Amino acid sequence: MQKNQFTPSACRWILLGCCLTPPSLASIQAQNVNGNAAAQTEIAVKQGVIEGKVFDSSDHEPMIGVTVAIEGTTNAVTTDIDGHFELPVRKECNIVLSFIGYKKTIIRFTGSNHADFARIMMKSEAQSIKDVVVTGVYRRKKESFTGSSATFKGDELKSVGAQNVLQSLKTLDPSFKIMDNALSGSNPNKMPDVEIRGKSSVAGLKEEYGSDPNQPLFILDGFETTLETVMNLNMNRVASVTLLKDAASTAIYGSKAANGVVVIETKAPVKGKLQISYKGDYSLDFADLSDYNLMNSREKLEFEKLAGVYKDNTNDPFNQIKLDNLYNSRLRDIEQGVDTYWLSVPLRTGFTHKHNVYAEGGEGNVRYGLGLNFGQVNGVMKGSDRQTLGGNLDLIYRTGKFQFSNKLSIDYLETNNPTVSFSEYAYANPYYRKYGADGKISKYLYYPEEGLNDNPVSNPLWNAHLNNYDKGQRFGFTNNFIAEWFATDDLRVRGKFGITKYDDTQDKRLSPEHTDFDDQEATQKGLFQHSLQKYLYYEGDLSATYGKLIAEKHQINAVLGFNFSNTTSKTNGYSATGFTDDQFDAPSFANNYPTGGKPSYSESIKHASSFYLNGGYAYDNRYLLDFNLRNDGASMFGTDNRFRTTWSVGLGWNIHNEEWMQENGIFQMLKLRASVGNPGNQNFSAYQAYTTYMFNSLMTNVFGTGVIINSLGNNDLAWQETINYNVGADITTLGNRLNLTLDYYIKNTDPLLAIITTPGSMGVTSEALNAGKQKTNGWEANIKFSPIYMPHERINWNISLSATHSKSKYANIGNAFSALNESGKTGLHNTTRYYDGGSPTAIWAVRSAGIDPATGKELFIKRDGTYSFTYDASDEVVCGDTEPDVEGLLGTTFYYKGFSFSCFFRYQYGGQLFNSSLFDKVENIGTADIYNNQDRRALYDRWSINNRNAQFKGISMVQKTDKSSRFVMDENTLTCESINLGYEFPLNIAKKFGMQALSVQANMNDIFRWSTVKAERGIDYPFARTISFSIGATF
């Protein structure tokens, strides 16, 4: 073995430099004892402890989980997520660094002048990929992991957008979907619906479940957290995010993981002298109104004339004169140039700014970090904003074989929502003036003359300018404590305890001068609504982790643990009415409760506990085995089914590590993997299995207050269980230039847990039952090619393409959902049905042959294939499916030294959409809707004698249109989700400004969207396009 050689002269200069330089800055370079130039180190002096970081030589990324040991002893540690380690030493020795798939690195420690190893490069034996899977319970090199997962660093998330973690994940991985909300658009205070690999529960019943049963599990720093916490999380704190998708990767979380798991790790403080860093994000949001196609004033007046608005049906000559005068008055205003664009009235350019300051450092055995963050998100609608203020304190203390870490975060949130929906402005006719003749806001845009059978048209500006509000406040904290005992080189014991507590207040107020109260008595005018939620969650975990490499070929990993959690939520509220003045908004000014109203109170408590075992075995880094076994208990299921066992098994084969494959050197990675398991789902109501009662104040007498049954219990209510199959391949070739990941999966959920409507004779409206099953199958493909790949020179160009497909269907449902199916047939917009063989995303409607050119009537196709002009809901069939045949992302990234550029497009092909804009704003325009502005197609594309080949029926205020395939359209879309430009200034330039690092970047998100369907989106709140700018500085 060749050892490092130092001349006496060199040693003297090194010693002199160490004496004259502060410990945290002193550094030298040493060469690996085996002469490998890839194992270079920058060494900082610190008595009694070797401290440093380990990096992958191929791409200079930090390596997690590397074993750093003193040769010939059991004294060893492992590197953390930043590649950092600290190893106590007392004398001269050899330091051995080992990791599966990498060449063993040995560095000689000679004493006082070589104490800290600041930068160590490890070279891969097969140039394997550097990805590490962080599950929140254990960490594993992806090469030796059999599960399906995707990991993204914090910088990657920031490079595609600065909105929030979820929006960035959507752009980076097609299996992570944020469902478009056509109503809420870009409302900053609306929580999104999120899915990984489609649905595993009954669709469309979110309100009945009490939560979204298809939402994935979120883990933050090893502790379970909520969707809203992740939405509010400062992106500058994020170190990495890992998506766990199949049973092998998610089963460690047992009965909570059927929908996938999102694991988020925040940054740990860096040891050394005090560093202060600042990150600022600034963005402008512009409302996207490109999907609106409303009439102008002249078109709307003409449409009303053709519809007969200005013709008196009673043949009363006096009323006809009034209608003629009304028409002429509006026409005169139009000729004078009145054409109000109401859509722009409630809008603004939303300016958002977020700031994060973080101070970190530490000496000896202590590391610390203190952060402050502030964010002000101003939405594109006036009166909508979201303000966050928070602080976090991170502490890490290590002594001997023990390490203690604590993360405390305190957060304050304040929200404001518009009290007038965007749809009210969209309804306003363009021939109305915003202000009255006196220049003031008028209460009504139109008030009918006596004798005319019209309703007054309220002015949305009037209601918006009143003393109304819809606001919320939340204050809470999260404290996560972890204690670790490194008992031996191979065994680690870890205890965790986390607590989250917050109070959430919501207040909504409508002025007594609001037009909704014009017909109310004085004692019923105005409205104040108040609710207060007190939330408490705590979680504890105790685990032992064992890992050992035997005879350089047998890698064994095991985790044994126990976990418990409790969630308590208490909500109380009340409503008050009878306000006398717009400015007197305190609830004490109210006169009474609303009719039949009284204060409300609800309480929800969930208990859960589990025992879990995870094991992994790798032989010569070629043949891989992972298994999980977990027993869960939860209070929300029937007394006869409180506990449930989940399991998973994963197999993998690293073909590239076979000798016969290494000879050709074609593949840097060629891994086949397969897994099966049965994770479950706990996203359900706390008391769904219980018979609950409700006090009835109308039945109060001397014997007490009467009660009535609120919901029926079910002692046999079983856990919803999903059998998850996955096969996949990971391929890297062409010298790491080409990366390909393929997955095919099947998810069988059996039994489903559903809320079933019960007959009225039972005295309750619904009951929780296990009904039927759901099967989902799909595939994912991700490919990345690097035409230019020079990581050592920091020059790289990547082109990426991803695609995903997923389809689901029900089975063994029978008649369990017959009541929902029947009510859906009569519902005007309900196109979801629950039948065996049916898809959760299928669109049900009656087939249409189009509009008969001769009569202008719609011609329907019955189930037996015959034609009829009569609509019959029993002829409903599947006319489309909102789930696309394929969707994914196309992107490119380019890095040159400190410069970076990226661009990502999302595409969707093959799905269908029920076009509600055509259904509601072209047809189905009755006497109540005719006074609202409508889609321009209602004027130009309707049947008439001169336009017999039209797609839509003739203009009428009395014809009713039912759900038919005429409104089901093929939807193909292309969206530019992200464009990014960034630059990291060289160190010498940053130092000129007194900084250690300086970087800037600019993003554009959702800049354009092309679709084959012209339909309104953002009904209650418009969508937005975003341009943002970020700056980062470290002092």
CATH code (residue 28): 2.60.40.1120
Question: Nearest 5°: phi and psi at 266?
Answer: -90, 165
**What does the buried/exposed string (b/e) look like for 607-642 if buried means 16 or more CB atoms within 10 Å of the residue's CB?**
ebbbebbbebebeebbebebbbbbbbebbbbbeebe
Could you tell me if 352 and 285 are in contact, meaning their C-beta atoms sit under 8 angstroms apart? Answer: yes
Residue 857 belongs to a domain: no
Residue 83 belongs to a domain: yes
pLDDT at residue 4, rounded to an integer: 40
Residue 524 belongs to a domain: no
Q: Is the dihedral of CA 247, 250, 254, 257 positive or negative?
A: negative
Could you tell me if 305 and 295 are in contact, meaning their C-beta atoms sit under 8 angstroms apart? Answer: no
Q: Which residues of the chain have pLDDT under 50?
A: 1-47, 126-130, 206-209
Residue 285 belongs to a domain: no
Q: What is the pTM of this model?
A: 0.83
Residue 20 belongs to a domain: yes
| 29 vs 34: CA distance, rounded Å | 15
Could you tell me if 346 and 425 are in contact, meaning their C-beta atoms sit under 8 angstroms apart? Answer: yes
Give residue for tokens 């049916």.
Answer: 838
Per-residue pLDDT reduced to its tens digit, 739-780:
999 999 999 988 887 777 666 666 676 777 778 889 999 999
Per-residue pLDDT reduced to its tens digit, 770-829:
788 899 999 999 999 999 998 878 899 999 999 999 999 999 888 878 888 888 888 778
Assign residue 189 a region: left if phi > 0, alpha if psi is -120 to 50, beta otherwise?
alpha
**Cα atoms found within 13 Å of the Cα of residue 574, Cβ hemisphere only:** 9
pLDDT at residue 7, rounded to an integer: 40
**Cα atoms found within 13 Å of the Cα of residue 204, Cβ hemisphere only:** 16
pLDDT at residue 349, rounded to an integer: 97
Give the residue from 102, 87, 344, 135 showing the smallest Cα distance to 246: 135
Q: Is the dihedral of CA 318, 323, 327, 333 positive or negative?
A: positive
Residue 44 belongs to a domain: yes
Residue type for position 285:
D
pLDDT at residue 59, rounded to an integer: 59
Full residue range of the structural domain in which residue 19 is found:
8-125
Residue 569 belongs to a domain: no
Give the residue from 609, 491, 495, 496 showing the smallest Cα distance to 558: 491
pLDDT at residue 106, rounded to an integer: 84
Residue 32 belongs to a domain: yes
| 972 vs 1012: CA distance, rounded Å | 6
pLDDT at residue 211, rounded to an integer: 64
pLDDT at residue 641, rounded to an integer: 73
Per-residue pLDDT reduced to its tens digit, 678-713:
887 766 676 777 777 777 777 777 778 888 777 777
Q: What angle do CA 356, 357, 362 make, to 5 degrees?
A: 135
Counts for the chain of helices (H) and strands (E), in that order = 15, 51
**What is the number of structural domains in the chain?**
1
